[in-house]
């Protein structure tokens, strides 16, 4: 996508929201760039793995169950996306369930 086209889309987006695009662009001068690690907050996630006993397998237990909870949440998000389609068909449903 060309720079001019991107700027037009940004302007259109904020016009539709009733927000002056210049205000949003000026805000970029003061914002910090986001990197991958900031986005996924791995430090916060890993900080939740707190061992409470001296059992050697406790950390494995904690991580296993946290991974399962994240997978369950991902499944619920996929189901929510599927539910919003007006014309759901088998191909679309299969695409979401088999997403790699």
Q: Within 13 Å and on the Cβ side, how many CA atoms surround 98?
A: 6
84 and 62 belong to one structural domain: yes
Do both 27 and 45 map to the same domain? Answer: no
Q: How far is CA 27 from CA 21, 22, 30, 38, in A?
A: 10, 8, 5, 19
Do both 61 and 13 map to the same domain? no
27 and 6 in a single domain? The answer is yes
Q: In this structure, are residues 61 and 53 in contact, taking their beta carbons and an 8 Å threshold?
A: no
Question: Are 58 and 14 part of one and the same domain?
Answer: no
State pTM to two decimals.
0.64
Count of domains in the chain?
2
25 HSE (CA, 13 A, CB side): 12
Say whether both 26 and 47 belong to one domain. Answer: no
- Among 41, 14, 16, 35, residue whose Cα is nearest residue 25: 14
Boundaries of domain holding 60: 40-100
For residues 46 and 85, state if they share a domain. Answer: yes
pLDDT tens for the chain, 100 residues: list them.
Answer: 899 999 999 999 999 999 999 988 899 899 988 899 999 999 999 999 999 999 999 999 999 999 999 999 998 998 888 888 888 888 887 877 776 5
């Amino acid at each position: 996508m060309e720079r001019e086209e991107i700027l037009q889309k940004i302007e259109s987006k904020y016009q539709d929201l009733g927000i002056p695009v210049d205000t949003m662009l000026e805000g970029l001068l003061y914002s910090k760039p986001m990197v991958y690690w900031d986005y996924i907050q791995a430090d916060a996630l890993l900080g939740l793995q707190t061992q409470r006993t001296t059992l050697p397998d406790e950390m494995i237990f904690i991580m296993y169950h946290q991974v399962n909870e994240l997978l369950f949440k991902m499944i619920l998000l996929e189901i929510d996306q599927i539910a919003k389609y007006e014309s759901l068909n088998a191909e679309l449903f299969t695409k979401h369930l088999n997403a790699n």
